[in-house]
Amino acid sequence: VKNRKHEYMNRMAVGVFAVEDGSVDTDDLQEEGLPPGKVVVYRQGSTPPRVISPTHVPSEFSQEEEKLLNEFVMISGVSEVTTYSQVPSNVASGTAISLLLEQDDTRIALTADSLRECIKRIGKHVLRLYRQYAKVPRVKRITGENGEVEIASFCAGNIDSEDIVFDTVSDIEDTLSARRAMVYDLLKLGLFADENGKLSTSTKARIFEILGFGNWEDGRNNDEMHRKKALKENMDMLKKVVPCDFYDDHAIHIAEHVRMCVSSKCTQNKALRDRVAEHIAKHTELLGFKDNVNLLESKLEKGTDNERQTN
């Protein structure tokens, strides 16, 4: 309909000429038309060429165009709120707008389910290919936060049904604004706070990451750096014995190593479990030594303060 409408408008702009048979050179008139300043030579005694007066664009074009646009909107399954970001004139309450948005989500849910099924099938084929051909350990370079580069190796034996998790969260409902609103509600309820009613540094960093602001706390988040170091030690202990460093945050390392020790990897591998348990024992020993040093330093400081007060 749009093409027909444009053809009609082009015909109106260019013009349609009426000439008497044999009065002018029609070939020249078809090629050049009647540009401004053109001298038209026609046969003496005949009627000069004239432009047929154009008519207005029929209203049926606009009516049919509007009708087709409404049909496309109806077929797409979304309302004016989603299509044009405009609220219908007969809708004024927030509840009605929310219902319209829910109806739009319901209508396009089938399309979203088809997309998820497509991604799931692609992942299935990728895993099958790795399972079939990745017999030799493959090395993959992974770039993490702040440009940190890590090397990970895997083979076909590392991929099984327990390593696959299906995400059941709808991508339509899980928008950034909805996620932020949910996090704000949880913060008001105090569900992220610890037993002392405060937010830990790692929790703050995680909340910033969920909100989509990036890891703002990463610059001064030593706990997160120690946790990443502990996770790297867990990967290294799969193959060899890893020594403890005196500058480690032993409490964080012990928590991550204990999580590794109770996982299925350690329960099925006695040698790995022994290595992790020995590593945890070293951290515990260093943690006790560090606590004793801190206690001794505090006693010395108190003794010094008492001497100053006596003097």
Query: For 113-126, what is each residue's pLDDT tens digit?
Result: 888 888 888 988 88
Share of the chain above pLDDT 70, in %: 67
Q: At 170, is the pLDDT very low, low, confident or very high (cuts 50, 70, 90)?
A: low
Query: In whole angstroms, what is the distance from residue 193 CA to residue 189 CA?
Result: 9
Residue 235 covered by a domain: no
Q: In this model, does residue 212 exceed pLDDT 50?
A: yes
pLDDT digits (tens, 9 = 90+) for 67-115: 887 777 777 666 666 666 666 666 666 676 677 666 667 677 777 788 8
pTM of the model: 0.42
Q: How distant, in Å, are the alpha carbons of 84, 112, 134, 224 from that of 238? A: 56, 40, 20, 22
| Best CA proximity match to 255, nearest among 224, 227, 221 | 227
pLDDT for 219 equals 47
DSSP calls for 154-215: E-GGG--GGG-----S-TTT--HHHHHHHHHHHHHHTTT--TTS---HHHHHHHHHHTTS--
In a domain, 87, yes or no: no
Domain holding 33, by residue range, is: 2-76
Please check whether residue 202 lies inside any domain of the structure: no
> Does residue 47 lie within any of the structural domains?
yes
Residue 244 lies in a domain: no
Structural domain tally of the chain?
1
- Residue 45 inside a domain? The answer is yes
On whether residue 93 sits in a domain, the answer given is no
Tell me whether residue 16 is in a domain.
yes
Q: Please give the residue that has the higher pLDDT: either 206 or 296.
A: 206
